[in-house]
Amino acid sequence: MNTHSTDQSSYPRADVDPPSGKLFPHKHLLGIWGLDPTAIKHLLDVADGYVDINRQAVKSAPTCAGLTQINLFFENSTRTLMSFEIAGKRLGLDTISMATGNSSIKKGETMLDTAATLNAMRPDVLVMRHGDSGAVKLLAEKMDCAVINAGDGRSEHPTQALLDALTIRRRKGSIHGQTIVISGDVAHSRVARSNIYLLNAMGARVRVVAPPTLLPADIDRLGVEVFHHMEDGLKGADVVMMLRLQNERMNGAFLPSTREYFHFWGLTREKLKSAKEDVLVMHPGPMNRGVEIASDVADDLDRSAIEEQVEMGVAVRMACIDILTRHLRPEDNA
Amino acid sequence: MKTSYTNARIIDPATNHDAIGTLVVSGNLIEGYGADIDTSDVSETIDCGGKILCPGFIDMRAHAVDAASALAGGITTIILQPDQTTTIDTDAVVERIRHRSVDSQIVSVYPMGTATQGMKGRQIAEIGQMQQSGAVGFTDCNHAVADAQVMRRLLEYANHFEALIVQYAENAELGVDAIAHEGEIATRLGLASVPSAAEAMQIDRDARLAELTGARLHFALISSKDGVEAIRAAKARGIRVTCSTAPHYLHLNDNAIEGYRTFAKVRPPLRSEEDRLALIEAVADGTIDTLVSDHSPKSADVKRLPFAQAASGIVGFETMLALSLAPVHAGKISLMTMLRALTTNPAQLLGLPTGTLAAGSFADFVVFDPNKPWRIDADALISSAKNTPFDTLPVQGQVWRTIADGVSVYEKA
């Protein structure tokens, strides 16, 4: 079943022979940037199917049995790592997770040497997170297998954007035409960037709301409307996605204090009044209650989709692994 | 109850009005002024004897409230600097000061908050909340925000609130330990000194950051020709910078510290005669926007010390008018320009509802005799301390009446 070949020239390359079918003509999932709406829709459609499987008592769908998945995390993570592990296991892959704490990286090995070592172990899927923007792409160039970006620096976090999109699509019926607000530390957020690309590609109206110190230069050129006042930005919004505020931002002089941040930019019931009545509240987690979001908003069962996002995360990651390994399973590649 | 002030030379810099006439006060508001204004229902008439009547002075930089001294100097609005016993760095402190000011109903006190937490230049202060509580500007007083990244983010953040940042114009590294202007006198006296370039460097850098962020930026206490030129260049580029100086920089040069006279120890230091003349010119042509007292009462205990150990600062409320009028009498600065720098300009910079005699505005104004000769007497000052380098100096121009909120709160005996 595993069609790995030592002959590089015969290996299907993304640019020559799209390995994952016409609907998703990419070897890796490194980011949302560069994906067309058809590819995104295909990923979401497949993920939708996995949501149903995940809600059954028996959640195993071992279409990928016998394949190997390595989760390589150079940056701390709990929920994303677990989500990828569960996704792999439900698909029947043998999944191995490695955090930098116990890797050779700590012994001075360069990332590319690590890549070569891992490549020699012949995994079929490599999931990677790294603190530097572009690191996953660099590693992907040295890997024969499919690479999924689980977050690199401030660059991209594609599976987060996909799970957010799936959540919105299931709640709102469509992404097209929705007014979606992304609020918080946009400057340092890979989640914000991936979401901006995806939501724009799918025809949403995207706004960002943050103090000027937390917005990167020329962010409006990425196709978003920029607001500094929360009430203005929330006006008529269908969806509001809050971003996590890192405590380091106080020391970096980006903000005075969490107190002042909550006062002006924290999502409260009062500020939410300017959004639409049925506004959907989202957060990629982990939340800072009383900093970027008030507890009663986070816990509002009618509006908050925060737990649902986590559920969608597993389904989306199953879809990504499934689609990127279909060329290894010709009988499934309909 | 209505009061009229007749036979006054009424000057309102807000409208360039300058003519003899009558001003009518109704309650705590100005009803109007002019040569033939209706005074039929006025219950009290005060003859100003041809003296000048103009908006009460607004002092953008005071380190103590010292209300009686301020009113004696014609100052009806004080901008209190955050370097108080309890540093003004939270909305709670701002609120307390505002409430106390409203309750006193004599001199209006508006606090400035710190720009960074503890004036340490590392973390932005809670500008938004302090502004909501009534802070009119944000400054680290005599500490320049040194880190360019912090300054950039501070300006970006403040700009969101349209808040005014006031920067002390001195490069921190060049100014470390400095107590005098770098030049012959400091060399002869053996005092650590700071060159004028330190002022210009800070202005150049921060003007760039103001341009980058689009924020408003005010430089406190310009003291040198280099500094003036840096401000002029920034304004010519269209950058939103403004600046102030104090009357003592227009009146003294570094000769004043000869003999280690600590009463002339100020920050930034008194500089050369060339600098002093450049400052007068800069006020005259509008490069310098406002005049401040930098009122800083210090007891003799902290002044009668070796120069390096002595406290900096002078008391400035009661001498502000007379010292400011000196270059006017010398024909170097027009009276209108000088009064604008003391009233309308600071009001507009800080967004205050004063600094004008327009009908309907608060009746905060001063009546003064521009020509009255007198001799400054340190012991006769009302202020809480007597640290002035101007003791025994003959001057011209004296406050006759100060009216705050419609009430005559100071009358020259």
Residue-wise pLDDT tens digits, B93-146: 999 999 887 766 689 999 999 999 999 999 999 999 999 999 999 999 999 999
What average pLDDT is seen over chain A?
Answer: 89
pLDDT of A24 strictly over 70:
yes
pLDDT, position A76: 83
How far is the alpha carbon of A303 from chain B, nearest alpha carbon, in Å?
29
Of A175-189, B89-103, B245-259, B280-294, the range with the lowest mean pLDDT is B89-103
- Residue that wins the pLDDT comparison between A6 and B258: B258
| Interface test with chain B among A257, A258, A261, by most B beta carbons within 10 Å | A257
pLDDT in tens, B202-224: 999 999 999 999 999 999 999 99
Q: Average pLDDT for residues A166-172, to the nearest whole number?
A: 97
Can the peptide bond before residue B268 be classed as cis, meaning omega within 30 degrees of 0? yes
pLDDT of A332 strictly over 70:
no
How far CA B356 is from CA of A108, B30, B201, B346, B372, in Å, comes to 71, 10, 35, 11, 24
How much of chain B, in percent, has pLDDT values that exceed 70?
A: 99
pLDDT in tens, A239-273: 999 999 987 777 778 999 999 999 999 999 999 99
pLDDT, position A308: 96
Question: In chain A, which residue's Cα lies nearest the Cα of B121?
Answer: A253
Domain locations in chain B as residue ranges:
56-350+370-396
pLDDT band at A91 (very low <50, low <70, confident <90, very high): very high
pLDDT of A238 strictly over 90:
yes
CA distance B325 to B11: 15
How far is the alpha carbon of A224 from chain B, nearest alpha carbon, in Å?
19
pLDDT band at A105 (very low <50, low <70, confident <90, very high): low
Cβ-in-10-Å burial (0-12, 13-18, 19+) of A148 comes to buried
How far CA B129 is from CA of A16, A229, A294, in Å, comes to 58, 14, 18
pLDDT in tens, A25-66: 999 999 999 999 999 999 999 999 999 999 999 998 889 999
Helices of type H across B265-380: 273-284, 300-303, 320-329, 335-342, 344-350
Question: In chain A, which residue's Cα lies nearest the Cα of B151?
Answer: A253
Q: Indicate the residue of B128, B156, B159 with minimum beta-carbon distance to A264.
A: B128
Q: How many other CB atoms are there within 10 angstroms of residue B271's CB atom?
A: 27
pLDDT in tens, B357-377: 999 999 999 999 999 999 999
pLDDT, position A249: 74
pLDDT of A22 strictly over 90:
no
Please determine, looking at this structure, whether the domain spanning B56-350+370-396 carries the CATH number 3.20.20.140.
yes
Q: Indicate the residue of B117, B129, B153 with minimum beta-carbon distance to A213.
A: B153
pLDDT of B187 strictly over 50:
yes
Half-sphere exposure of A317 (CA within 13 A, CB side): 33
For residue A228, which residues of chain B lie inside 8 Å, CB to CB?
Answer: 160
pLDDT, position A104: 57
pLDDT of A122 strictly over 80:
yes
| Interface test with chain A among B126, B127, B150, by most A beta carbons within 10 Å | B126
pLDDT, position A106: 60
pLDDT, position A2: 43
pLDDT, position B393: 97
pLDDT, position A4: 43
pLDDT, position B105: 60
Closest CA to B244 of B270, B219, B225: B219
| Percent helix / strand / coil, chain A, rounded to 5 | 40, 15, 45
pLDDT, position A6: 40
For residue B212, which residues of chain A lie inside 8 Å, CB to CB?
Answer: none
pLDDT in tens, B35-73: 999 988 999 999 999 999 999 999 999 999 999 999 999
State ipTM. Answer: 0.82
Which pair of tokens denotes residue A2? 């595993």
pLDDT of A117 strictly over 50:
yes
pLDDT band at A99 (very low <50, low <70, confident <90, very high): confident
| Contact flag A253-B153 (C-beta cutoff 8 Å) | yes
Question: In chain B, which residue's Cα lies nearest the Cα of A229?
Answer: B160
- Residue that wins the pLDDT comparison between A285 and A147: A147
pLDDT of A150 strictly over 80:
yes
Q: How many other CB atoms are there within 10 angstroms of residue B174's CB atom?
A: 16
How much of chain A, in percent, has pLDDT values that exceed 70?
A: 90
